[in-house]
Structure 1
Amino acid sequence: MKKRQFIKSLGLGLGIVPFTGFTTTNKPINPDTLLPKKLQPGDRVGLVSPSAATADIMEFTFAKEALEALGLKVVEGKYLSERRGHLAGSDAERAADLNDMFGNKKIKAVVCIRGGSGAARILPLLNYELIKKNPKPIMGYSDITALHNAINAQTGLITFHGPNGSGSWNSFNADQFRTVFFGTGGTITYKNELEETDDLVIKKNRIRTIHPGKAEGDLVGGNLTVLTALAGSPYLPDFKNKILFLEDIGEEPYRIDRMMSTLMLMGVFREIRGFVFGQCTDCDPSGGYGNLTLDQILDDYLLPHKIPAFRGAMIGHVPKQFLLPFGAKMSMDANQGILETRGAIFQ
């Protein structure tokens, strides 16, 4: 019996995690950038659940209908609706769905139905050689940060940090999807949408420049909590000369500070060329004196390095969010709050 089949049968039979991988090394292999194949209207896309279980059965319907409305045909993962505790099935089942979608030549892209927690558990079970031989887009955010970083570190494949299948598919997000996946392949510019109200001052989606300047580099990052939990593993890419973007939800400032200190101790802020902080939804302090603000925390860690940096980008747990090519060459302007692609993101 082949190793992959043995691991799958062991995990599926016992519901436990065989913590051995297919082709991982003890450190990131820093591969060259690998471009996925371009998506076309009418293509089949695989819908998978690598993280938490989906409690509301209608969410499966919503995700399928949204992707169909975008002009795609949906193929559901074999274990999409499974459940084991808070997880969407056993680790072996969730990994099997991802591996199968990358191995299926008829599937042209993979969409994660939701985040939550648990994606990091399956990283040793992913077949990175298979992924590398079948480069296709995979999209999601939040806990899917674990997949973006691991796949980039092990294969160099550009992935896509954007709405999950069951997330918000308002006109902004739908237009982003069409621009990124069905567009002409030109430069994509990401700049916050400012909404005017009867207030004298526009307040929503404003950016704050932490340190002025422009930078270029490959884009990496994602959810701060998930990313820092990968510290010390072979599933984080090299941060040297990269643009780092971060976002989070439901974390008090002292927890943000703790995680930023982890990145500082890893030497990340000495290595990156630029920094973008998106939205930190529900990250207010619980009350009382003695709390650092989020702005103070960001200033403490970033200003000593004098790298271009801004906060407030439409990235994260917000209804309207950027669909970013993770691992792609990008430029940033911290004064204007702009990110732009530099070069191709598809074959």
Structure 2
Amino acid sequence: MKVVKPNRLQKGDTVGVIAPASPPNLENLERGIEYLQGLGLKVKKGRSVNETYGYLAGTDQERLDDLHEMFLDKEVKAIICACGGYGTARMADMIDYEIVRKNPKIFWGYSDITFLHTAFRQETGLVTFHGPMLGSDIGKEDTHALSRDGFLQLFDSEALSYTEQLSPLEVVVAGTASGPLIGGNLSLLVSTLGTKFEIDTKGKLLFIEDINEEPRSVDRMLNQLYMAGKLDEASGFLVGDFCDCTSKRELSLTLDEVINHYLERANKPALKGFQIGHCNPHISIPLGVNATMNTMEKTLIVESGIL
């Protein structure tokens, strides 16, 4: 499918804020919105952002309506998610992907938003952005400047260079690998298997991260990806932050033992230690564009995600 890059932002542009999964912390959200306004952007909030329906930010239809309306709104140049949690997969098969296809624009988020990143890319070719969100990250008082600075890539079409100046990187399997950069939250990637949105890893650089999963759970998910052929089909692997993924039981493999087992078994170039995911700082990356990883130089070069 043809890769579709959205247009870059300019000062004075309007961005839409939606909550397609769980309800955000509203105080943090307002501080996050203030940050966007400080970049010279105008902000339009979706109607369900302040809603709650159990663990969801409104019903599936309410959240879906916000998503559709933001893509249809010609004034809105980018859509920024307020937070993750749970819920995007519930409405994935309800989305009118023709609306997204005809109105390509910046779409930004991570965690549960991974399901939408995957669906948008595979259904429309749209390049999306894996980055910290307003209510769960940017609006927090201790958010690192590098997390906030990630939004600056939306104004300038320069390639992203990730080196050990950002974080120490560890080689799991040596080599060089290239391909479209895809992935996100491991739990959400596994949840696509067996659905019409099943993750396509063929020839791709696969990035994974997660939070609050014991090594045994990570083992189960990586094993499922492995048995489904998804690790064999990938060109290489990037391992991001696995926040609080420690064992709560006496007998356990370590997280490193689990991850290394499957990456070595797949035997494709692999680096781990990327500050991408549920971490602070959280480095933002575009998904769906070409990237090259070199384990000898410990570098990742990612093509710009905007026009």
- Kindly indicate whether residue 114 of structure 2 is the aligned counterpart of residue 151 of structure 1: no
Q: Residues of 2 paired with 1:192 and 1:119: CA distance? A: 33
Displacement of 1:320 after TM fit? 0.8
Query: Percent identity at matched positions?
Result: 37
| Aligned-CA RMSD value | 1.4
- Among 111, 126, 134, the alignment partner of 2:80 is 111
- Where do 5+ consecutive residues of structure 1 fail to align? 1-30, 195-204
Q: Which residue matches 1:320?
A: 281
For 1:255, the aligned partner's letter is: S
Q: TM-score, normalising length from structure 1?
A: 0.84
Question: Which consecutive segments of 4 or more residues in structure 1 shift more than 6 A?
Answer: none
Q: Judge conservation of contact 2:4–2:127 (CA < 8 Å) in 1.
A: yes
2:154 aligns with 181
Aligned with 2:26 (options 57, 64, 72): 57
CA distance in 2, matches of 1:124, 1:259: 23
Q: How many matched pairs?
A: 302
> Structure 1 residues 284 and 336, CA, compared in 2 at 3 Å: closer, same or farther?
farther
Q: Are 2:57 and 1:88 aligned?
A: yes
Matched, 1:305 2:270: no
Give the whole-Å Cα distance in 2 for the aligned partners of 1:170 and 1:108: 26
Shift of 1:127: 1.4
Q: CA separation in 1, counterparts of 2:145 and 2:231? A: 36
Q: Does 1:281 align with 2:255?
A: no
Distance in 2 between the 1:329 and 1:132 partners? Answer: 20
Name the CA distance, whole Å, in 1 between partners of 2:4 and 2:188.
Answer: 23
What is the Cα deviation at residue 137 of structure 1? 0.7
Q: SS at 2:134's partner residue?
A: coil
Shift of 1:192: 4.5
In 1, Cα distance between equivalents of 2:298 and 2:151: 21
Give SS of 1:52's match.
coil
Question: Do the aligned residues in 2 keep the contact of 1:214 with 1:333 (CA within 8 Å)?
Answer: yes
Partners in 1 of 2:144 and 2:227 — Cα distance? 39
CA distance in 1, matches of 2:12, 2:233: 42
The Cα of 1:104 is off from its aligned counterpart by 0.6
Deviation of residue 120 (structure 1)? Answer: 0.7
Structure of higher CA gyration radius:
1
| Structure 2 gap ranges (5+) | none
For 1:314 and 1:283, locate their aligned partners in 2 and report how far apart those are by CA, in whole Å: 15
Report the residue type matching 1:190 in the other structure: Y
Question: Which residues in structure 2 correspond to 1:254-269 (within 5 Å)?
Answer: 254-269=216-231
Q: CA deviation at 1:100?
A: 0.5
1:1-347 aligned within 5 A: 31-54=1-24, 56-166=25-135, 167-168=137-138, 169-178=143-152, 180-183=153-156, 185-193=157-165, 205-289=167-251, 291-342=252-303, 344-347=304-307
Cα deviation for residue 63 of structure 1 reads 2.2
Cα deviation 1:208-244 (Å, max 9, x = unaligned) = 1101111110011100011111111122342110000
> In 1, are the aligned partners of 2:127 and 2:287 still within 8 Å (CA)?
yes
Q: Deviations over 1:232-274 (max 9, x none)?
A: 1122342110000000011000000000011011101111101
Instruction: Determine the C-alpha separation between the residues in 1 that align with 2:159 and 2:55.
Output: 40
